[in-house]
Structure 1
Amino acid sequence: MSTLIADIKIPDSKLAVEAAELLREHGDELLWNHSNRVFLFASIQGNMQQIKYDSELLYISSLFHDLGLTPAYRSPDKRFEVDGANAARDFLRSRGVPEDSIRLVWDAVALHTTIGIVEYKESEAALMNFGVGYDVVGKNFDLISEDTRQQIIQAFPRNQFKHNILHAFLEGFKHKPETTYGTINADICEVLLPGYKRPNFCNHVLHSRWEE
């Protein structure tokens, strides 16, 4: 029997179930609930705006979008978004998914924090960014009704999410803070990582090896 939450069907194909099992295995309750809320908020926005999107690919993108924070998938030297995107690509390729769909999911995961660009990508990437922004910082909060929000939170509780997620982010890249340069994740390092000093692009320009 399929699961329906706030009139949104949680994909239950073999591919979707296997992706969910992967997050269950390597993530925790915080990432599980967050990733499912992201999918639901994204889907609601897509339906309200009458945007055509692939629900299965949006769901898989949502499940993988923070997987790069987990010990099993975090690399020593790449942005966590890229780690998650690479994990999604490997997962989908191993199951014979067409390359066009794989590229779409890779972009959605890799670009989900790249504000100002991802909004203009394919529907799945743009919608997932909406879902992430809605769940993490409450962006466009009033677009979704209180009743709908409560249905989603009842199914996938927040449990002090706004405080816990910052530490989950930091745990995922505190060993490689240089990868946050030029991204919103540098804010997390600056606030929570002792001794971290944010690099400044102007200094890179002015102290480059060019003579003039």
Structure 2
Amino acid sequence: MTKLIADIKIPDSKLAVEAAELVREHADDLLWNHSNRVYLFAAMRGNMNQMKYDAELLYISSLFHDIGLTPAFRSKDKRFEVDGANAARDFLKSRGIPEDSIRLVWDAVALHTTIGIVEYKETEVALMNFGVGYDVVGKNFDLISAEARQIVVQAFPRSQFKHNILHAFLEGFKHKPETTYGTINADICEMLLPGYKRPNFCHHVLHSKWDE
């Protein structure tokens, strides 16, 4: 039976179901619910604007976008966004998905925190970024009705999300804070990681090895 939440269909193809099973195995309730809300809010935005998008790829991108924070997929030296993008790429490659689709999903996951650029990418990439921004910081909050928000949150509860997600982020990269340089994630390290001092780009420029 097709599952509808706030008039949005949850993709139920074999590929989508396998992606959901993989992510559910490794993501806790906080990340699982967040990732599903991201998809629903992204799809709502796409439908509102009568945008053509691949719901299956948008769903898979949303599911994988934070998987790089989990122990099974976090690397020692890459941004968590890249870890998640690589995990999505490996999953899709193993299922024989075309390279163009894989590249789209990789970009959506890898760029989802790259504010000022990602919103100008392909439709699915930009929509997923909308969903992330909507769920994490309430960006463009009034674009979606209170009724629709309530339906989504009933299906995938927030459970004090905004008080817990920062610690979930930190857990994913506290062992490699250098990977947050130049990103919004450096804010998390600065706030929650004892002894962390944010690198300064101006310092790097002025103290480079150039003799001048």
Aligned residue for 1:20? 20
Partner amino acid for 1:49?
N
Q: Which residue of 2 aligns with 1:85?
A: 85
* Corresponding residue of 2:56: 56
Q: Following the alignment from structure 1 to structure 2, what is the Cα–Cα distance between the partners of residues 163 and 151? A: 21
- Percent identity, aligned pairs only? 86
Residue 77 of structure 1 deviates from its aligned partner by 0.0
The C-alpha deviation readout for 1:129-184, integer Å capped at 9, x for no partner, is 00000000000000000000000000000000001100000000000000000000
User: Which amino acid is 2:97 matched to?
Assistant: V
How many Å separate the matches in 2 of 1:79 and 1:110? 9
Say which SS state the counterpart of residue 9 (structure 2) adopts.
strand
* Residue identity opposite 2:176 in structure 1: K
Q: Which residue type is aligned with residue 195 of structure 1?
A: G
1:1-212 equivalences in 2 (<5 Å): 1-212=1-212
User: Match of 1:159, SS?
Assistant: coil
Task: State the distance in 2 between where 1:17 and 1:29 align.
Answer: 17
In the TM superposition, what is the alpha-carbon distance from 1:120 to its structure 2 partner? 0.3
Which whole-Å CA distance do the structure 2 matches of 1:86 and 1:171 have between them?
19
CA distance in 1, matches of 2:69, 2:12: 25
Q: C-alpha separation between the residues in 1 aligned to 2:65 and 2:118?
A: 13
Moved over 4 A (4+): none
TM-score (norm 2): 1.00
- Looking at structure 1, the residues matched to 22 and 134 of structure 2 have their Cα atoms a distance apart, in angstroms, of 24
Uncovered stretches (5+) of structure 2, i.e. residues with no partner: none
> What residue identity is the alignment partner of 2:6?
A
Per-residue displacement from partner, 1:12-44 (whole Å, max 9, x unpaired)? 000000000011101100011000000000000
Matched length: 212
Alpha-carbon deviation of 1:2?
1.3
- The answer for unaligned runs of 5 or more in structure 1 is none
What CA deviation, in whole Å up to 9, does each residue of 1:82-116 have, x standing for no partner? 00000000000000000000000000000000000
- Partner of 1:131: helix, strand, or coil? helix
Distance in structure 1 (CA, Å) of the matches to 2:120 and 2:110? 14
User: What is the CA-CA distance between 1:47 and the residue it aligns to?
Assistant: 0.4
TM normalised by structure 1 equals: 1.00
CA distance in 2, matches of 1:22, 1:120: 29
- For the aligned residues, what is the CA RMSD? 0.3
